[in-house]
Structure 1
Amino acid sequence: MKSKAIVFVLCVLNYLAMAQPHDFLSKGKDTVLICGHRGGFYNQLPENSLIAIKYTVSHCNIKPVIVEVDIRKSKEGTLYVMHDETVDRTTNGVGKISDLSNAYLNTLYLRTSSGELTNELIPTFEKVLAYAKANDVVLMLDIKDDVWEETIELVTRYDLIKKCIVLTFDPAMTSKVYSLSDAVAISFLAKDEASWKSVQKSGISNSSLIAYITSSTTGALIKEFQRFKIAMMTDASESNRNNAAIYPAEFYLEMIAKKQIDILITDFPVDVSQKLK
């Protein structure tokens, strides 16, 4: 009887561990959380810049604030925050970031979306981590190069593993991140039943998962994620889908209600947070 009781207790504890979301999700359970895509798109502030991140964190009135950043590696192995493979579009420099030295990268200035040069430097990932740690920011990481281990190692060093979401876009990538850390939240692309089954086969705890809902995600699949208490998120992609203009509040509210979203990724986090608040 004693052994059965122990097994029962262990099963209950395991269930509770799988059912509980990360702390930052539970804080926002009464409202959708807002994530600023590339830190936020603002006319006078460059994407993926510390100044854009700081603006979003300071002015977004839904807390905690989530910011999405892209990670690439320099020739010397330093991690920088940069979306494109090259620095051509977003800075006054040229070349693939993986071919460029730290010395050169640290001299470049970021451009706004209209091409205007600013006095903002390309931030290293460590600088973003330091800011996030000091300001209670949740980071969503889009790891562009094969620097999974280096990224997780740095996040762990800054004691932010419970305050990060790692984006993955295929089941193999999802499993890889889980093998590196069973504590970090991992987003998987929930485009169809097959992709979900592949993620399930890897044995990842539901508490580690966030389903990235797309236009092809069925209502039945959304209900299944709800049943398993898996958090869900989607993106508004205003720059690609709405000529870089913000939608009316009703658009966001309908998207959240229809897809049962816990996290909404938007190019305009400050504006959207004000509309939803």
Structure 2
Amino acid sequence: MTVRIMKNTFLLPLLAVSLVTCTPKASLRAPGNGANEFFKYKPGQTARISVHRGGGDLKGYPENCIESFAYVARQIGTREAPAIIECDIDLTRDSVLVMMHDATLDRTTTGTGKLIEQTYAQIQQYRLEDNLGTPTPYKIPKLEEVLRWGRKAGVYFTLDVKRNVSFDKVVNMVRQTGTGHIAAIITYNAADAARLHKMAPELMISVTIRNQAEYDRLRELGIPDNRMVAFVGVREPDKALYEFLHAKGIACILGTLGNLDKQAATKGDGLYKEWAQNGADIMSTDRPLEVFRAVAR
């Protein structure tokens, strides 16, 4: 259970820190390296890091906010392997797309209640809390703000669309901000992936592929290999699955968040390098700094 403290206050020292660490540095992205190319499998490429919820396990930095995205991107992003920010999109009562994982405000903000029952103006009175329950100076950002920041900051996104949000709203915002070249949209089943591809055939889609049957179903529904990045699950798959997908140019995301991150914390961070050598092209993690130190050596 999260311990909640200082309910209506925030840490003033973090404000000064944010002025230094949260200003985007010059773009690390190579010219012309769009999402279709970035998320494609390439032999010998350094494993990339997908920061689960944008880095919410970092002390003083809440999940799903620009300040956290900027901080972690500065720590792990390189020209060869820019940071990937996995983040969550939900909706206010007045239909503003904002960054929020939970349906309620209680765990991650100084507010309470359901997000969908409050307007964007109302939620601006709240401050985000880190995962220790400590309030920070930071507010809930709009998706539009995040995407426009990302264009300048040299990061890529995987966008997790929550239940209250329709894909068309997210697609429209990606198009409006001109960020299709840095974003992939996450889906959890083949039917949603097919619907999204029909709606936005130019966009990359994160699809679940834990076996060949799941891949075959996606192809039957018309999704081409060059629009897929494959989430292979939260435990290491057989190497044969990696080899099968790599042969088709499809990069693989291994979800180390949860049990695999705990295993690495106990047995040693060198496990991240082993998982990369076994075939993981991207690791989705709650321990981005530790993964970076392991795979960047």
TM range (shorter): 0.7 to 0.9
The residue number in structure 1 matching 2:254 is: 234
- Residue 224 (structure 1) aligns with: 244
Tell me whether 1:30 sits opposite 2:50 in the alignment: no
1:248 aligns with 2:277: no
Pick one of 54, 70, 82 that aligns with 1:54: 70
Return the match for 1:88 from 103, 106, 109: 106
Deviating more after overlay: 142-151 vs 243-252 = 243-252
Over residues 190-238 of structure 1, what are the superposed CA-to-partner deviations in whole Å (9 max), with x where a residue is unaligned? 1233322211101111000011112384443332212211111112114
Which digits, 9 at most, give the CA deviation of each residue in 1:44-103, with x for residues without a partner? Answer: 111112111010111114431110110001101000100001111111111111111111
Equivalenced residues, count: 257
Alpha-carbon separation, structure 1, partners of 2:156 and 2:168: 19
CA distance in 2, matches of 1:112, 1:239: 21
**Distance change >3 Å, CA 67–CA 199, structure 1 → 2:** same
Q: Distance in 1 between matches of 2:219 and 2:213?
A: 10
Question: Retained in 2: the 8 A contact 1:162–1:183?
Answer: no
Residues 66 and 30 of structure 1, relative CA distance in 2, 3 Å threshold? same
CA distance in structure 1 between the aligned counterparts of 2:289 and 2:124, rounded to whole angstroms: 29
Residue number in structure 2 paired with 1:67: 85
- Unaligned 5+ segments in structure 1 are 1-19
- Choose between structure 1 and 2: higher strand proportion: 1
Within 5 Å, which residues of 2 pair with 1:99-248?
Answer: 99-145=117-163, 146-214=165-233, 215=235, 217-238=237-258, 242=262, 245=265, 248=268
Judging changes above 3 Å, is the alpha-carbon distance between structure 1 residues 153 and 246 closer, same or farther for their aligned structure 2 residues? Answer: farther
Give, as a single letter, the amino acid of the residue that structure 2 aligns with 1:36: V
TM-score by length of 1: 0.85
The answer (yes or no) to whether the contact 1:190–1:217 under 8 Å persists in 2 is no
1:42 equivalent to 2:62? Answer no
Which stretch of structure 1 is more off in the superposition, 244-253 or 135-144? 244-253
When you count helix as a share of all residues, which structure comes out higher?
Answer: 1
Counterpart residue identity of residue 47, structure 2:
V
Deviation at 1:27, TM superposition (A): 10
Identity %: 25
Per-residue deviation, 1:156: 1.1
Q: 1:152-191, CA deviations, whole angstroms, 9 ceiling, x for partnerless residues? A: 1111111111211111110011111111211211111112
1:276 maps to which residue?
295
* 23-32 or 40-49, larger mean C-alpha shift: 23-32
Contact 1:238 1:246 in 2 (8 A): no
Larger radius of gyration: 1
The Cα offsets for residues 235-259 of structure 1, whole Å up to 9 and x where unpaired, read as 211488529958633210111222x
Deviation of 1:266 after TM superposition, in Å, equals: 1.2
